[in-house]
């Protein structure tokens, strides 16, 4: 069974995910960060693949991507670094990135390598759903790789139902129309999140964008199974000399 499926079967509420940029703050920091996150008690991890033009990301994650690329991080290197990760990590791991590096790597090669190193799912914001269904779904299913779709406040109920029908893993509820980290908290998103909650979707939901504190995490999880924190965490580990202590402190403040 895919680790995401197992997680959502065992735990229905207050699921905490943390986003971290691969190769940030330093090239070889990714594995120490994710190990520290598991030890700190997060439920699943989202690793960002650095990209030169991350359209959905705000300045904090954009800057971390720039630093990671300058450090030498690539998709190929990240997957190589992850080859032995399952010797120590048991929680679900997702990769978040953009379609161009995946296409350069090769769709089937990418899915196969993800399966080999223990990646459970991917989030590709600029992969059109119809293109995924027609061209990529069969390959991802073959390698038991979940593809996570995003929903925004502008997404119609009809479209949400369609996404729910074709989703596995969870649906990513973008809390606002801004990029990541543009706002603090999710005030103003309650009506939108409540609308989706009342739809009683079959697929679990996780809120992302602008979750940055215990308060915003608790508010988001009133409407969804969990929430993802990204920019606030990336900012917190910048120039942190003791990664494990910094991660523990950050996660402790959320829980």
- The residues that are catalytic are 46, 57
* Element containing residue 147 per DSSP (H, E): strand 146-148
> Residue 239, class by beta-carbon neighbours within 10 Å (0-12 exposed, 13-18 middle, 19+ buried)?
exposed
Q: Which two tokens stand for residue 244?
A: 């494990």
> Residue 137, class by beta-carbon neighbours within 10 Å (0-12 exposed, 13-18 middle, 19+ buried)?
middle
Please, where are the H alpha helices in 30-126?
Answer: 30-40, 59-71, 75-81, 99-105, 107-117
Query: Among candidates 234, 208, 233, which has minimal Cα distance to 221?
Result: 208
CB within 8 Å of 47: residues ≥ 6 apart: 19, 20, 21, 22, 30, 34, 78, 93, 94, 95, 96
């Amino acid at each position: 069974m895919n680790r995401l499926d197992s997680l959502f079967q065992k735990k229905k509420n207050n699921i905490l995910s943390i986003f971290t940029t691969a190769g940030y703050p330093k090239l070889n920091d990714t594995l120490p960060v994710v190990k520290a996150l598991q030890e700190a008690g997060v439920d699943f991890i989202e690793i960002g693949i650095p990209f030169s033009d991350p359209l959905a990301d705000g300045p904090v994650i954009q800057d971390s991507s720039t630093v990671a690329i300058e450090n030498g991080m690539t998709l190929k290197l990240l997957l190589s670094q992850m080859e032995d990760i399952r010797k120590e990590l048991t929680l679900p791991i997702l990769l978040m990135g953009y379609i161009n590096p995946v296409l350069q790597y090769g769709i089937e090669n990418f899915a196969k390598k993800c399966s080999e190193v223990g990646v459970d799912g991917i989030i590709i914001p600029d992969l059109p759903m119809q293109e995924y269904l027609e061209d990529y779904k069969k390959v991802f299913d073959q390698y038991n790789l979940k593809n996570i779709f995003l929903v925004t406040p502008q997404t119609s109920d009809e479209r949400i139902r369609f996404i729910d029908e074709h989703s596995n893993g969870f649906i990513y509820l973008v809390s606002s129309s801004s990029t990541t980290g543009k706002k603090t908290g999710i005030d103003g998103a309650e009506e939108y999140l409540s609308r989706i909650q009342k739809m009683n979707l079959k697929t679990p939901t996780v809120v992302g964008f602008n979750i940055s504190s215990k308060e915003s995490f608790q508010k988001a999880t009133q409407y969804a199974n969990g929430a993802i924190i990204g920019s606030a965490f990336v900012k917190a580990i910048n120039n942190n000399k003791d990664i494990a202590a910094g991660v523990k402190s950050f996660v402790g403040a959320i829980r």
